[in-house]
Amino acid sequence: MDKPYRPQLTRASRPLTFTVEARNERGEVLPTDIAGEHPLTLYVDKREIVTLMTLGAAPEALALGYLRNQRLVNSIEEILAVQVDWEVNSVVVTTRSGLADLDGRMEKRTVTTGCGQGTVFGELMDEIESIRLPDDVSITEAAFYGLIDSVRRHETIYKQAGAVHGCALARDSELLMFVEDVGRHNAVDAIAGQMWLDRIDGADKVFYTTGRLTSEMVIKCAQMGIPILASRSGLTQMGYEVAQKTGITMLGRATGKHYLLFTGHHRFKKT
């Protein structure tokens, strides 16, 4: 079998933690690890698109996933190269034949916030109407507990320095990818980018995030075609509404052997 097409990629990750001194309540001066945070400006065919503030663990996948989740690029085959240069804090994406109507899309772009990114929010909300997630997949409670435990054991930067969110892609209890970043949206995007590169389909997967289940998080998961979404945190009303609309299976407050199952009960099996 031929290997699937891959754009040319740098592999330019940054040191993920730094040590600084802090004084605690007992007056002790302690070396304290803190998470890296770097501006990374994304250019597509020489046009500046966005500056992402990132931990810098997987900048190439992050750039790809950003373009994918923002619907600025339709397929990985359109991309020739992704080149990160930390000397100038830039990631340069070169496309095969330019992005169709990039000016129009950038102009229409509404910046959304609330710990959110700049997304074409209205368009994404339209898009979710057409999303159909597979109903013939499920996860057992035992596998789910296994997944929560795997995530707990993988959270390296969080345990060391805090101040990051983690996202994982799993099949049953098996972690396939785990990405941490200073923003929860960057961590999701990096996973979306890596899924593109490795031609991984979301249909039989579970997506886990340490962050809250806001509308944008649920929309992104549905966009990636992943039918089961779990978080250790809580959710918002719009996150709940989007989960209902897309029929996604959504679990919150998942830690240890506790969880709250909010939507899509049919994909979660007690035994």
| Interface contacts to its own copies, rule CB under 8 A | 18, 20, 22-25, 27, 30, 32, 34-39, 41, 48, 50-54, 110-118, 121, 141, 161-163, 165, 181-186, 212-216, 233-240, 252-253, 257-262, 265, 270
As measured in angstroms, the least distance from the Cβ of 262 to its own copies is 5
Alpha-carbon distance of 23 to 170, in angstroms, equals: 40
Question: Which of residues 200 and 220 has its CB atom nearest to its own copies in the complex?
Answer: 220
Say which residue the tokens 């959270």 belong to.
155
Alpha-carbon distance of 106 to 104, in angstroms, equals: 6
Question: Which of residues 10 and 233 has its CB atom nearest to its own copies in the complex?
Answer: 233
Residue 193's closest CA among 75, 84, 68, 80? Answer: 68
* Range 200-204, long-range pairs (CB < 8 A, 24+ positions): 200/169, 200/176, 201/225, 202/226, 202/227, 203/133, 203/134, 203/137, 203/227, 204/134, 204/137, 204/171
Alpha-carbon distance of 79 to 73, in angstroms, equals: 8
As measured in angstroms, the least distance from the Cβ of 251 to its own copies is 9
As measured in angstroms, the least distance from the Cβ of 192 to its own copies is 14
As measured in angstroms, the least distance from the Cβ of 236 to its own copies is 4
Question: Which of residues 247 and 252 has its CB atom nearest to its own copies in the complex?
Answer: 252
Alpha-carbon distance of 169 to 270, in angstroms, equals: 21
As measured in angstroms, the least distance from the Cβ of 113 to its own copies is 4
Question: Which of residues 34 and 175 has its CB atom nearest to its own copies in the complex?
Answer: 34
Question: Which of residues 116 and 225 has its CB atom nearest to its own copies in the complex?
Answer: 116
Q: Pull the structure tokens for residue 41.
A: 């400006």
21 within 8 A of 31, measured Cβ to Cβ: yes
